[in-house]
Amino acid sequence: MDWRRVAGLGAVSLALAIPAVVYGLPLAVRAFVRAIALILSACVWFAMSLSAGVSVWALIAAVTQATAAALTTPRASAILAALVAIAAVAAYGLQRLLGSEREHSR
């Protein structure tokens, strides 16, 4: 590889990494803290429900209903659609990558 290509690749990588760190790191930390808070809330809710005498089946039904209600919102549908699109692009890229390696190995 030519040194100019390596320098250009390094510059492009740096130019993409700086915004990812500046914007992505606070979002990741915020999501991590939010996930911990939700897990703690769920544990407290679960413990209070059990101490109040609610059956396990009633808890499972309540969790299932809450999950279904959360997944049927437009925001959740958009996030799921975006994840499916990203997975499709990743699968296509992987297929192209593995397909090109098979051609070179023959």
Q: Compute the C-alpha angle 49/71/64, nearest 5°.
A: 30
- pLDDT for position 13: 87
Region of 73 (left: φ > 0; alpha: ψ -120 to 50; beta: rest) is beta
42 located within any domain: yes
User: Does residue 3 lie in a domain region?
Assistant: yes
User: What pLDDT score was predicted for residue 11?
Assistant: 87
Q: Cα–Cα distance between 3 and 9 in angstroms, integer?
A: 10
> What is the pLDDT, as a whole number, of residue 6?
81
CA–CA distance, 14 with 23 (Å, rounded to integer): 14
With a CB cutoff of 8 Å and minimum separation 6, the contacts of 49 are 59
Domain region containing 34: 1-54
pLDDT at position 71 is 86
- Residues with pLDDT less than 70, the chain: 1, 100-106
Is the model's pTM score more than 0.75?
no
Q: How many domains does the chain have?
A: 1
pLDDT in tens, 63-73: 899 989 988 99
